[in-house]
Amino acid sequence: MEEPMGRRFGIGYALAPKKQASFVQVSLINLAKERGIDLIKIDLEKPLIDQGPFDCILHKIYSPSWKQQLSDYAVKNPNVPIIDSPNAIERLHNRISMLEVVTDINFECEKVSFGIPKQIVVYDAKAVKELNLEGEGLKLPVIAKPLVADGSAKSHKMSLVFNKDGLSKLKPPVVLQEFVNHGGVIFKVYVVGDYVKCVKRKSLPDVNEEKLGSSEGSLSFSQVSNLNSVERADDKYYSMMDLEDEKTELPPISFLVNIASGLRGAMGLRLFNFDLIRDVRIGNRYLVIDINYFPGYAKMPCYERVLTDFFWDVLNNNDDNKMDLNLQSSNMGTCEMEVRKLVSNSECEEDDGATNLPVSPIKREEKESSIQV
Ligand SMILES: Nc1ncnc2c1ncn2[C@@H]1O[C@H](COP(=O)(O)OP(=O)(O)OP(=O)(O)O)[C@@H](O)[C@H]1O
Ligand SMILES: O=P(O)(O)O[C@H]1[C@H](OP(=O)(O)O)[C@@H](OP(=O)(O)O)[C@@H](O)[C@@H](O)[C@@H]1OP(=O)(O)O
Ligand SMILES: [Mg+2]
Ligand SMILES: [Mg+2]
């Protein structure tokens, strides 16, 4: 572990109250402090330019006035890194531009391929009525997602549309995305600078022909991979699925690293996660279905250490370090592997599977094995 060498750093953070509660935990504050890094809350009631000094700014606030404040601050403090640029984050606020970036990445991969599901956008109610899905190259069922992904509850409200009747309930502007059977498991790939971590979560179950014929027009849901166990048990659709997914194989590690670094470079973002599903029809084809800015890192095992290492690197202009690969396994099904810089060799406790709960505090259980590739 690096010594603070007498110099202390201050990171100003601007987060919504819920995000602050889950992310800025005492364990993170203390670990950062040990490394000479103080996490300082930015007062959103006061002008940013009058606050500080900060050595770095961390934020997940989307208002135009905040964007203006950051811009004014950057003019006055050109050497203070802002994580991340509001313009770069904005690309993720639209579910079309969000996934366009995936189609821009290219790398050689022998055994697996990746892409995005077919999708179209419908802007108004009239267009919904006149919609010819087949003509658009889309097959039912489709997932209807609000075009805007700005973090509001509304932006997470989705529906699985089984037939034409289901289309009539849609509220444009909406993205219609091909529903791809993927065995009810989703891979959440967390990226923190050049650190990459993949965890498995429950997803929507596959839809078969029988279900397609007998179902109601559509079924609404929200943040299905983010439900806690009580919510899951109550959820009508969720309860239909097989909860045993321990056997699901993870995507190859080098493949995930390539996608992660491709996305990081193309988007100019350092803090994000992406959701990946494996197309059961093809098997070795993976689809990126969602990218989130500054996701729920506190649900990630060892998030304190990972984030503190990242802060250290940013503050010391060290964030281009060569990556090493570390494979980490767990028998809990939530943490299977990680690729990380070997900044810290300290033993780290892992999440015990309660990953979907708002994390305060997380109950943890120690189990880690790692090999260097
Ligand atoms: N094309 C698809 N095919 C199959 N299932 C999908 C598809 N798109 C989304 N899903 C399912 O719907 C869930 C929600 O979709 P998505 O991740 O796009 O929404 P979100 O509200 O942005 O989620 P998050 O909480 O990760 O931000 C996914 O976790 C997955 O279970
Ligand atoms: O807390 P926030 O508002 O940032 O919520 C984010 C949430 O994290 P949380 O679960 O800790 O709340 C993320 O969960 P994971 O992907 O990591 O499971 C994901 O749902 C993001 O899409 C959310 O961001 P939003 O899209 O709403 O901006
Ligand atoms: Mg998602
Ligand atoms: Mg999302």
Closest CA to 314 of 272, 261, 262, 271: 271
Query: How many degrees, rounded to 5, is the angle at CA 99 between CA 197 and CA 307?
Result: 30
Beta-strand pair 285-293/174-178: unpaired
* Ligand 2 centroid – CA 92 distance (Å): 13
Asked if residue 101 lies in contact with residue 81, where contact means CB atoms within 8 angstroms, the answer is no
- Which backbone phi and psi does 122 adopt, to 5 degrees? -120, 125
Question: Is the CB of 215 inside a 6 Å radius of any atom of ligand 2?
Answer: no
pLDDT at 359: 21
Query: How many degrees, rounded to 5, is the angle at CA 166 between CA 163 and CA 170?
Result: 140
* Ligand 1 centroid – CA 290 distance (Å): 6
Nearest CA to ligand 2 atom 9: 296
Question: Is the CB of 254 inside a 6 Å radius of any atom of ligand 2?
Answer: no
ipTM score over 0.90, yes or no: yes
Asked if residue 170 lies in contact with residue 144, where contact means CB atoms within 8 angstroms, the answer is yes
- Residue 80, beta-bridge partner list: none
Sheet holding 56-60, edge to edge: 37-41, 9-15, 56-60, 82-83
* Ligand 3 centroid – CA 136 distance (Å): 24
pLDDT at 328: 28
Question: Is the CB of 22 inside a 6 Å radius of any atom of ligand 2?
Answer: yes
Span 136-189, pLDDT tens digits: 999 999 999 999 999 999 999 999 999 888 898 899 999 999 999 999 999 999
pLDDT at 198: 96
DSSP codes joined into one string, 158-180? EEEE-SHHHHTT--SSEEEEE--
Q: What is the pTM of this model?
A: 0.85
* Ligand 4 centroid – CA 76 distance (Å): 33
The continuous run of DSSP H or E covering 285 comes out as strand 285-293
Terminal-to-terminal C-alpha distance of the chain: 22
Question: Is the CB of 151 inside a 6 Å radius of any atom of ligand 2?
Answer: yes
- Residue 329 CA to its chain's centroid (Å): 20
Which residue ranges in the chain fall short of pLDDT 70?
1-5, 214-215, 227-246, 319-373
Which of 94, 154, 289 to probe ligand 1 with, by most ligand atoms within 8 A of CB?
Answer: 289
Q: Which residues contact 297 (CB under 8 A, 6 or more apart)?
A: 23, 190, 192, 271, 303, 306, 307
Cα–Cα distance for residue pair 183/220, rounded to 1 Å: 20
Atom of ligand 2 nearest to the CA of 152: 27
Q: Which residues contact 20 (CB under 8 A, 6 or more apart)?
A: 13, 41
Asked if residue 250 lies in contact with residue 337, where contact means CB atoms within 8 angstroms, the answer is yes
DSSP 8-state code for residue 148 = B
